[in-house]
Amino acid sequence: MPYRISRLGLVEIRSLDLDRDLDYYLNVLGLQLTAREGKTAYLKGWDERHAYSFALTESDRAGMVRMAFRTVDPEDLDYYEKRLKDFGIKYDIIPEDYRRGRALRFTAPSGHTVELYNEMDYTGNVLPTVNPGPWPEGLRGIAPPRLDHTLVTAPEPGKAIEFFQTVLEFRLSEMLVAPDGTIVAAWLWQRPAPHDIAIVPGKAGGFHHAAFVVDSADALFRAADILAMHKARIDYGPGRHGITRGTTIYFFDPSGNRLETFGGYTAYQMDPDSRAIRWTQDQIGPAVFYYSQELNETFLSVYT
Amino acid sequence: MADLGAGEAGLYTITLRPVGGTVACGPEETVLAAILRAGASVMFGCRGGGCGTCKMRVTSGQIEHGRCSAAVLLEEEKKCGWFLSCQARALSDLTIELSAANKYRVLRSWWRLSLLDS
């Protein structure tokens, strides 16, 4: 099976106060601002080459507006359009969006708005394209290089997981399995990394977190320092997940949306032949929080 | 029962029912911050008005709601006294009716504090 999705290209989140939250995203999380258009701000990590990967839209509530995956080639969008038709999934064609080409938009069984697109303005990262240095000076805040993955909730996680597997051809990297063998939660990938999206039980359309890359242990602890210096609300960490092996800090933006610094540098590399790792439900503690070995109160109950 | 700073000048008094005990709340702090500062453990989540975990009900007194997600604090709930404690500020003395889960937590907190006093 060839892989047709290059990455989680966009997460759009609702903000209760865009001025306040944008200040946080620019100066504490340290994303780059591409543009602010009305009630939406378009952002990205410093090493991302397309126009934006994260959007923040003012609303009367918190939570996720949509997630969008970028296909590897333009033809892959046609491939998926045929697949949506074959599976009888209703979809809309979005001719264009801010600095982005045609997209397919549909609702996953989890209740989330999902889009597939291929074209977005290629702006380059913040480094020169000729003889670049390894990283830019003068960044503010945590300054993650890029968006990594999202984790969302579903009332019937099995159905949502099956949708992402069969219709969108994501593969399981890891799963949490109940004693009767049903899959309770899953981590799914196409890009050769532990996950592009994960699904856990919870309300329809629920947003658990979006994760940004930190690429060393130094960066992880520096991120924790920055969050604490700004009195940001840390939910958990620094720590490590059993699932994916990635290091983690969970924290909240000022509107209460959970974010993560994810240390994929500790994770494994996927191979097309990689097969799913199984976690039994009685080991959910170390599966999620490897060091404390138990779930905290907020992991399964607090999300937007 | 714990009476932590209640009655001081410029502070409002929050009475936690049905466990008893009062907490002082300044004009600039949220109800949740005041309760936590007094050493009482209650349920909270994102502390941004987004998740609704810290929802409580006031039975007397005035509050300012602050910025809360309309998805987790409905207008009808507001009319019945519900508020998000991580965002709300006291505008007068308050009486708060605790949920069963919070009642247990607060009782346990008072018991822990009593150990420090003895």
Of A61, A235, A297, which has the smallest distance from its Cβ to B71's Cβ?
A61
ipTM of the complex: 0.89
Tens digits of residue pLDDT in B70-115: 999 999 999 999 999 999 999 999 999 999 999 999 998 888 888 8
| Contact status, residue A149 vs residue A164, Cβ threshold 8 Å | no
Give me the pLDDT at residue B20, please.
78
As a whole number of angstroms, the distance between CA A178 and CA A278 comes to 10
Reply yes or no on whether the pLDDT at B117 is more than 80: no
Structural domain range at position A76: 5-117
- Do both A100 and A51 map to the same domain? yes
- Asked whether residue A299 is assigned to any structural domain, the reply reads no
Helix (H) or strand (E) holding A56: strand A54-58
pLDDT band for B4, please (50, 70, 90 cuts). Answer: low
CATH of residue B70: 3.10.20.30
The 8 Å CB, 24+ separation contacts for B73-81 are B73/B49, B81/B57
- Asked whether residue A137 is assigned to any structural domain, the reply reads no
- Do both A183 and A76 map to the same domain? no
- Asked whether residue A133 is assigned to any structural domain, the reply reads no
The region of weakest confidence among A136-140, A236-240, B10-14 is B10-14
Nearest residue of B to residue A205, measured between CA atoms = B71
Q: How many domains does chain B have?
A: 1
- Do both A159 and A248 map to the same domain? yes
- Asked whether residue A159 is assigned to any structural domain, the reply reads yes
Chain B positions in Cβ-Cβ contact with residue A56 (cut-off 8 Å): none
- Do both A172 and A72 map to the same domain? no
Q: How many domains does chain A have?
A: 2
Q: Which two tokens stand for residue B10?
A: 């410029």
Measured between CA atoms, how close is B2 to chain A, in angstroms? 26
Structural domain range at position B66: 3-117
Tens digits of residue pLDDT in A66-122: 999 999 999 999 999 999 999 999 999 999 999 999 999 999 999 999 999 999 999
Chain B positions in Cβ-Cβ contact with residue A233 (cut-off 8 Å): 46-48
Average pLDDT of chain A to the nearest whole number: 96
Helix (H, G, I), strand (E, B) or coil at A219: helix
- Do both A99 and A164 map to the same domain? no
- Do both A196 and A273 map to the same domain? yes
CB contact under 8 A, A255 and B69: yes
- Asked whether residue A213 is assigned to any structural domain, the reply reads yes
Whether A208 sits among the annotated catalytic residues: the reply is no
CATH of residue A96: 3.10.180.10
State whether residue B33 sits within 8 Å of chain A by CB: no
Of B47, B53, B70, which has the smallest distance from its Cβ to A61's Cβ?
B70
- Do both A158 and A104 map to the same domain? no
| Contact status, residue A42 vs residue A100, Cβ threshold 8 Å | no
3-state per-residue secondary structure call for chain B: CCEECCCCCCCEEEEEECCCCEEEECCCCCHHHHHHHCCCCCCCCCCCCCCCCCEEEEEECCEECCCCCCCCCCHHHHHCCEEECCCCEECCCEEEECCHHHHHHHHHHHHHHHHHHC
Nearest residue of B to residue A206, measured between CA atoms = B51
In whole angstroms, how large is the CA radius of gyration of chain A? 18
Tens digits of residue pLDDT in B33-50: 999 999 999 999 999 999
What average pLDDT does the segment A251-259 reach?
98
As a whole number of angstroms, the distance between CA A18 and CA A41 comes to 8
In whole angstroms, how large is the CA radius of gyration of chain B? 13
- Do both A178 and A87 map to the same domain? no
Reply yes or no on whether the pLDDT at A153 is more than 60: yes
What average pLDDT does the segment A122-145 reach?
96
pTM, entire model: 0.94
